[in-house]
Amino acid sequence: MSEAAGKVYLIGAGPGDPGLFTLKGKRCLGEADVVVYDYLANPRLLRYAKPGAELIYVGKQAGTHTLPQEEIGRLLVARAREGKAVARLKGGDPFIFGRGGEEAEELAAARIPFEVVPGVTAAVAAPAYAGIPLTHRDFTSTVAFVTGHEDPTKDETGIAWDKIATGIGTLVFFMGIGQLPEIVEKLVRHGRAPATPAAVVRWGTRAEQEVVTGTLENLAEKCQGMKPPALIVVGEVVALREKLRWFETLPLSGRRILITRAREQASGFAAVLEAAGAEVVEFPTIGIAPPESWAPLDAAVARLREYQWVIFTSRNGVRFFWERLQAAGRDIRDLAGITVCAIGPATAAALLSVGIRADLVPTEFKAEALIEAIQAVFGAGAIAGSRVLLARAAEAREVIPEELGRRGAQVDVVAAYRTIRSASDADAVRAMLREGKIHAVTFTSSSTVKHFLDLVGGEAEVLLRGVVVASIGPITAQTAAQHGIVSHIVPENYTIPALAEALVGHFRAARP
């Protein structure tokens, strides 16, 4: 993608909900060598950046600039002149009060190739998530986007207040919460009725979304003390909110949930939670890596015909076993006559995806239940004298091999993969927990608990006060309890869908 002179992509990150990011934005972000991102760009979008990409934060909040606008322009030019592809990730849409036009001018002046990737503007998205349509055939056919904070260096206003006050049906003001009394005064002075419905939408589409409705006459008073980012919406369409509000009715709306699962396994879980209205923060405390050596697994694959049983305890075990089986020039025919066991439905589904149907899946998804199921289905003495291959993580509970050994089986425990501590941004998560921005934390294995504790340090118990802790099963909950962490949610079925359903049920019941 990089050219001799490099290239810059001015990408709209959307209003905050990562599901509103565009497909083209995702593609460009994944190809970029450098990502320069803003305060209003959801950090979760950075997961689309390619490994090794340089990530540069240039966030700008009211009164606080990490990097002045002029420096941002110079940074984009400098990186592009190094021959790099640069993704400039801006909140909302870059050309709607995003100063994207200024950055594009600097690039054009420097003869740097650039493209603009539009984003979903907050002007449309925030009111939509608040249940406010900007146009409606029964109310208005006109809408205008207006800045509530003009360039302070200008001698006079560029806004024709006398025309927009009565000439436009719906007005959407950006960056105007600090000037709300003045905006209201100008609209009323130029003819807009004081009884006109109006609303302020703060952090639209995010877990912190806050909506205050009223009229031009009382909105400023109702919103005293409210801080940016927020949009002001003025017009008769605001009255439709009471009928059309939908986002707040979702069971996990307003909840920010921390997922500690490995990044490559978190997407399905996150999608279920997001569909229920949650904002997900991925904090992968573990990563999945190959074992220190493939030699033990390869040796087991070479003598596969010597085993009567093969047991898998996770999807990762299936994945790596299958890869090494194929690398050895073998396939599912080598499992003919061997009894294949899976500890749960997710593991069984992973086996089925490569053409292997598990002979046994216990109804309770833990090691002890697997032993009981083997005895119940195949008889108490079924495994005596048998040779069993257990392909699993390098670090795991010893229940299965110990119990099988007691029953006369010869068990070969082979590491198919390792769980390693992930290099996650622990400082950011600690800050969110301290500030009460995390409403629930999920643990999907004992490893996620242990590595979470390693990453956040000794203050975990304090940080989790007031936070709902959801553990996938009793073993995980027991590990958490050993470190002083109480699990409020433990589903009856130890699966990701059951954990998501339990979270939905818990917060739905907690609603007033």
Comparing CA positions, the residue from 13, 9, 16 lying closest to residue 34 is 9
Q: Is-catalytic flag, 175? A: yes
Return d(Cα 142, Cα 139) in angstroms, integer: 9
What SS3 state is found at 214? Answer: strand
Return d(Cα 25, Cα 48) in angstroms, integer: 9
31: left (phi over 0), alpha (psi -120 to 50) or beta: alpha
Beta-bridge partner residues of 55: 35
Return d(Cα 484, Cα 482) in angstroms, integer: 6
Q: Which of 7, 84, 93, 175 is catalytic?
A: 175
Q: Is-catalytic flag, 93? A: no
Return d(Cα 120, Cα 126) in angstroms, integer: 10
Q: Which of 38, 84, 93, 366 is catalytic?
A: 38
Return d(Cα 142, Cα 394) in angstroms, integer: 63
Return d(Cα 242, Cα 239) in angstroms, integer: 7
Return d(Cα 160, Cα 101) in angstroms, integer: 22
Q: Is-catalytic flag, 432? A: no
Q: Which residues contact 285 (CB under 8 A, 6 or more apart)?
A: 260, 421, 422, 424, 447, 448, 451, 452, 454, 455
Q: Which of 26, 60, 186, 222 is catalytic?
A: 60
Token pair of 63 as six digits: 């009164």
Token pair of 208 as six digits: 């912190």
Comparing CA positions, the residue from 237, 35, 283 lying closest to residue 130 is 237
Task: Output the CA torsion sign for 296, 298, 304, 309.
Answer: positive
Q: Which residues contact 446 (CB under 8 A, 6 or more apart)?
A: 397, 475, 476, 479
Residues with catalytic function: 38, 60, 175
